[in-house]
Structure 1
């Protein structure tokens, strides 16, 4: 994976997490990597692949076509829409709204559970290693004590 292909994963502040969970922003965040249309307050429409939606409804998109009310179109590789400029965000038909909301609202809980599992596995492996080392030392001491007598 080249540096340009890396996924942008911003650090999210606690306030932003709370805003996402208490509103339908979690639905919009579920549109990650989905092609959709964002209608702007100035009558323009932006269609492209959603890269990121923050808690303030700011949308970062890739491979965008900007359609103006007079019919002109412009293409951009990257596009950022400030949340205050958003009028509508179209939810594609294939998105299950309920499942997307539940999934994104519980994402942090699932991540914490995964971290706990990984931590428990590391602790168990470390305990086994300590037990093996203690057993080896005990055997070594037993050999030394039997060789002295």
Structure 2
């Protein structure tokens, strides 16, 4: 009986966590795209059309922390991140590449993902390569980093010098 009670308690806890996750996900999905700075979106949009070689130097403020570095397309960022993962775990990198490939194929086949829909998906995040994080006077170099545009409180063109 005690074992059943523990299983019931675990089941209840799992159900509560699922409910919290669902509520948080619904709240997150309900946030408007119009909360993103329109001018920043206009600045980033051509970056995705120019290909993997296009970059722009950008500094953003997220939750009081400055992130500064080179911004690239999502595809270029994904490739860099996979390269970083491959160093430590080739199997994980291969699995991620496979999932990404399937996702890209589905996006090409799904009509909703063409036109304006794919534009919104691409400009939802800022993709930094080797940015610097500045917080409380401390500078930290980061690997390939992705920032949600809805979290950006301020931004400017250019990289902050750490010299």
TM range (shorter): 0.3 to 0.5
Question: Which structure exhibits the higher relative contact order, with contacts defined as CA atoms closer than 8 Å and separated by 6 or more residues?
Answer: 2
More helix by share: 2
Higher-Rg member (1/2): 1
TM-score scaled by length of structure 1: 0.40
